[in-house]
Structure 1
Amino acid sequence: MRGRSKRLGAADASALAPLNPHASVAAPIRPAMMTSPRAQTAPQTALSSTRALPRGASARAIVRGQRPGSSVAAIGRGSIRPYEGRMGSSRRIRSRRSAMAVGFGVVGVGNWGRLHARVYDSTPGARLAALCDANLERARNVADSLGGVPCFARLEEMLDCPDVEAVSVVLPDHLHRDAAVRAAESGRHVLLEKPLATTEQDAQAILRAVRRGGGRLMVDFHNRWSPLFQPLKGALERGELGDPLLSTLRLNDTLEVPTRMLPWADCSSPAWFLGSHCVDTLLWLMEARQDRDVPVRLTSVTRSRFLAGNGISTPDFCLTTLEWRSGLVTHVENGWVLPESGPSLFDLKCQFVGTRGAVFIDASHHRAVEKHTERVSYPDVFVAPTCSGRPEGFAAESIRHFVRAVIEGTPPAVDGLDGLAATRLVLRMEESSRTGQPVEVGPLYEE
């Protein structure tokens, strides 16, 4: 990555979906009865990356098949045998418990990929069947922490595992297409971290692959499971706020995210990494897919000063004004240049004002818990806290929703068309910021 020598911190990345709060435990799930419609062959090209890369590594290096300090990568060259991990008593117990469970694999085991793995490992009816990561050592460490599962450095090898019936793709924003297409074409059900894709072409390729493979696709916009947004959703559905007038949605990150957490930040932007969450939340709240209300016009402004001056080629922020058919005007703020001195890694606020009422949401600085040590911090109690060794919160609940959809053969609440709509809106935001002109939104849900 060019200019990386001027970065503000080490490039030891990990994944974050810095959004929301909730701690609801999924209902017990029936033993698995459903299998995925497998395709006869899987594509042969190799791709495996991760939301969290080894110190000094870059997402581009992994895509090229290179590792730091090595001329030959674990991906794309040679044959990697699966790593089984240490077969302790916990693995034997889990094997008996989940003999009839559906097997889930995870591609990319950075921080957020590890959450996917832990959820599958702790959800009745599901079984963590395999891990895939370009950094095989990291995959082995995660596997060992969960009792041992097969690990691979190449996606096609994991897809050769008959135990893997569904796949979580937890890769950097710009690397979703290849992994999602291959998993979908192999007949697996796919849970794809947001955004669906960063180009219209990639998004359409993924949707075509899902149709060919016959499995289900869910895009992990987990803010829809946040308990903090449920009162607003209910108030809008019941008409308690009257006619919509104005709303604001702010999701910002501290500098830690683009400077140390994500070595691939200059392959993404605040609009993709943060704004995609926001636009999906708004489309869900306003029931755009049901045509209750839709955005018709937007204007976006970005500036690239601070991060670009420190060798990271990505905007500092993106400010967007959405105009809706109903007359509602929404201001969306996304940036990742907040100082690291604050008590939270992210800042998420929302307000919605109508003719008969208003709702105000503070999803980050809620002060439900304060921890005072060398600095003040707000421990996570909503997004993905651990309770009795099990991941909870609404980020875990969205993954468990995918498990239920696979087991019960039901459509996921957030599918490929929802992902396509969010991708198209962010693309319009980029167009407006690039041209300096308002942009007509156009159809969002037509393939």
Structure 2
Amino acid sequence: MSNFASLPAGPGTARPLHAGDSEQPGVTTFRISTKDRTFVDEVQYKGWSIRLADWVHLSNPDDPSKPIVAQVFRVWISEEPGKKGQPGLTVCWYYRPEQTFHPAHRQFWENEAFKTSHFADHPVEDVIEKIACQFTARHIRGRPRPPYWYLGWPLYVCDSRYNDRERIFVRIKNWNSCVPEEVRKSTEFMPIYPFERTVFPRRFGSPFLKGKGVKGPGGIGESIERGDGERIEGGGTGRKRSKRAVGGAASATDISGPSKGLYVGVPGASGTGTPATASPYQNPYPAQYTAPQQQQRPQSAQPRPPEDRSILTAAGGLAHLGNSAVIEKLPAETAKHFDRDPETNEVLWFASPPMDVAHAPAPRYSLSYLHWLATKRKRATQPPGDDAMDVDGEQGGDEGGSVAKRPRVQTVTEALDSLLASFAP
């Protein structure tokens, strides 16, 4: 037992029981075993009722941070002498992107998992939690109803099968063939709350691109061509396919991954990248790699181009949006309440709400100056009269241009002095 898991190996490292490879532990099978066990409808564990076709997280002996994504195909009670009465599950493993070998340009949906042909027997103690996984046809149209999924549970999406023997992805066309036979074509199995419109999940690049720091057991590589008569895992021999078979397989093989949904990554670098050197099985394509434009440092002599902050650029560009871009227009009864451009008659949109900032007041004249200016204008418009106050320079003098001065008024002290002087002998 390792990392609290009962199995010696997990997805990507485990091998079939009859593979004949002594270096790798044999864990999985390609068929559901019926030996030494009694099948039941459900088992109780941690307060959960685990039934047929439920999705669960199981303990991963290779990496506890990435539990095994699996679907329950059988629930049983062991009849083996050493394990009699112990409950267990037969599940089908689903691989994560980092557990697969894929080209560097392949893209993945958010929380995408891949159906495999590996079945494994787990004791019920390996169950960590209940989860849910939807196939693409339903995932883009809604979310599962309780009790199949509750808000807060992990939710995965599956679009393709993964063949780890040939390292190829095949898009699933018949979804009923991927679930237990008992729930096929059942309208009661995982009903959904429908969306108002189709919603595709976000897309990401390979987890092994440089800078992400993700380790295997997968890696960057390409499909493996088996030689004629070469032994393959799970029994049988490899053989060269006819031209007709190769053409049919190429049409079903999913090489580039999903094309719909918002791409999250460096614009212009969604189809290229630099692979990490974490796995010895990599087969990189250095001739196809191009550095992102954002990493090119402009020359000092050239002016910096203006940054494009449109919503189209933020979404990754028109090439990344593809057919998933949806344009919705405001109804006429809603648009009539907003201001319009006088030239185009379109509703005015603003990048941000108005800001209430302090504006510095413009310089203004003081009250003293304004009072003086008003007085001056009043004097200029007042007609001359007897009671008008004489101002220097405003009244004319003699012909020589001299200005007449008003007689000086005698003060009280001067008047008293002159009066006393007149009474003196």
Same fold (TM over 0.5): no
TM-score by length of 1: 0.26
Of structures 1 and 2, the one with the larger relative CO (CA 8 A, separation 6+) is 1
Name whichever structure is richer in helix by fraction. 1
TM-score by length of 2: 0.27
Larger radius of gyration: 2
